[in-house]
Chains A and B, each alone.
Chain A
Amino acid sequence: MTFHLGPDLIRLDRVTCSYGSAPVLVDVDLAIGPRQFSGIVGPSGSGKTTLLRTLLGSVRPLSGEIERQPGLRVGYVPQVETINWSFPVTVSECVLMARTRGRRLPWRSRSEQAEVAEVLDRLGLGALPDRHIRDLSGGQQQRVFIARALLGRPDLLLMDEPTAGVDVSTRHEILHLLDELHEDGLAIVLTTHDLNGMAAHLPHLVCLNAAVIGDGAPRDVLTPDVLERTYGARMDVLDHAGMPVVLDRYLSDRAG
């Protein structure tokens, strides 16, 4: 399946992945085009992070084909829960990790200094280069890792649960930033559990439960049928100003 007329950045063809005997992804077909902005949704253990890592190249498929555009640069923003926040690293040290290859000297060159300052300014972190990464707000922490990914000048940005555990205001901040990056031409793929606060606002969604259950615009895939097949739970979908709003039917029934 293709979403764009231009050549795809990455194409997965019947990809199956496994960490042991039980497959995590089964016959996944997916194409990521230039300037695409997609969300991957699904229950816990549905293979969202594995799919992201497969796109990144850190998980090799058991079977199937993965085609990447030659010279494709992929940036990855890990889930904040996986970060060791006690690690002694400042904002600028963290961002500069994107420049690990190439220069052998420990200190940054003048051009690197300028590039780090530029990317930090762009993400509103210009005043915080020497701040420890733990001494930041949730939104700022997320932006540090986006800055690190952007310093590698990626064509595609992969983000694992960028809004997990953040408050509404921070979620808006992150969504706004991602919209800006997307408007600048960056392709973005992220995973999320947040159907109403995040997924419904994205241009394109993939519903995943080991296999791809549905993909398309939110109003096409956030349907009771697709959601039940994805999550194994019944959900109602309301229309709010042309945007789908997902309701948990169990909770609705309990509320009477």
Chain B
Amino acid sequence: MHDFFEPFRLEFFRNGLIVATFAGALCGLIGVYVVLKGMSFIGHGLSHAIFGGFAASTIIGVNFALGAGAWGITSALMINGVTRRRVIGADAAIGVITTASFALGIAMFDVFGRHGRNFDAALFGSILGVGTGDVLAVIGVTVTVALVVFFAYRPLLFTTFDPEVAEASGVRTARVDALLMVALAISILATMKVLGVTLIAATLVIPATVARMLTNSFSRMLLLATAIGAATGFTGMLLSWHLDVVSGPTIVLVGGALFAVVFALTGVRGRSRTANVHT
């Protein structure tokens, strides 16, 4: 037991644990909409797009939150615009926007020779650089997104389930979609340090998919996905320390293992629930 509690005495680990737990909850919550709207690819792409902003802000020396935030929100709104227009090959357009941004980020790091901890942390996640400011930022974003989901619960549900009838019923679906994309962008920004760009998509998708296998109710799915995200974040971070593996992949692997267990236990019924859910 001595070994088990050892990391809790270290401030950076406590910070990492808090951030991982809140980041997991945040991604679990927003992931419900990502999965149900068939936006898993957008979530993946957006995290890569934000990497470009991260690289630019790191190299230019601009505050990360401002630089990558502005870049991420702009990318999110552009992606939302492309998606809503339903032009041919919207997924391809998203692929171009986001991978180009990602490639730009890598090229900038390469040209300016700034490969190192920041680069690896952004890609794969790390708790080493997590300070009190990051803890407060993740908690702040989690509370903000939770409040958005709470007060916009009804329009978000209607727009996600049946956008055409929602629009005809007076719901401003364009605004609701934009709000969701901005919430997704700031969620990715806030969790990037711990989870890493390449793995954020998994933390958005896995808790929501597991929750979907466990319930048929939307409100319960939101609560379950949030709890599952928090639990996998907490457990993954603990295991990351004890197994000496990078935090991001460990959190994702814990989620993957939970998915496998629930998938096996819920049998055909659970699998059929997710059969046509867009992932």
Contacts and interface: CB of A to CB of B under 8 A. Distances in A.
Interface stretch (B60-68, B111-119, B167-175, B193-201): B167-175
B154 A103 contact: yes
Interface string B213-231: 0011111110000000000
A58 B220 CA distance: 31
Given A87-B36, A88-B212, A106-B219, A101 B168 contact: no
B40 to A, nearest CB: 15
Contact of B218 (A78, A89, A104): A89
B8 interface: no
A88 B216 contact: yes
A106 B154 contact: yes
Contacts of A84: 161, 276
B222 to A, nearest CB: 9
Given A85-B276, A86-B273, A93 B217 contact: yes
Nearest to B212: A88
B273 A93 contact: no
A56 B168 CA distance: 7
Contact of A97 (B36, B161, B212, B273): B161
B154 A99 contact: yes
B244 interface: no
A100 B165 CA distance: 11
B274 A93 contact: no
A174 B162 CA distance: 22
Contacts of B218: 87-90, 93
A98 interface: yes
A203 to B, nearest CB: 25
B153 A152 contact: no
Give the interface SS of chain A, mostly helix, strand, loop or mixed. loop
Contact of A88 (B162, B169, B215): B215
Contacts of A190: none
A100 B171 contact: yes
B276 A78 contact: no
> Which residue of B151, B160, B166, B168 has the most chain A CB atoms within 10 A of its CB atom?
B168
A234 interface: no
A101 B169 contact: yes
A78 B162 CA distance: 9
A100 B166 contact: yes
Interface in A90-115: 90, 93-94, 96-101, 103-106
Given A106-B219, A152-B169, A86 B277 contact: yes
Given A84-B161, A86-B274, A100-B171, A93 B155 contact: no
A17 interface: no
B148 to A, nearest CB: 11
A84 B164 CA distance: 13
A31 interface: no
A89 B217 contact: yes
Contacts of B152: 104
Contacts of A89: 157, 161, 216-218
A104 B154 contact: yes
B275 interface: yes
B158 interface: yes
Given A78-B162, A88-B212, A106-B150, A57 B273 contact: no
A88 B155 CA distance: 16
Interface string A149-169: 000100000000000000000
A74 interface: yes
Contacts of B168: 56-58, 74, 76
A78 B164 contact: yes
Contacts of B170: 100-101
A229 interface: no
Contacts of B165: 76, 78, 97
A132 interface: yes
B26 to A, nearest CB: 18
B150 A100 contact: no
Which are the 10 A-B pairs with shortest beta-carbon distances? Answer: A132-B216, A106-B153, A86-B276, A100-B154, A58-B168, A100-B158, A97-B158, A88-B221, A56-B168, A88-B218
Interface of B: 36, 150-155, 157-158, 160-162, 164-171, 212, 215-221, 273-277
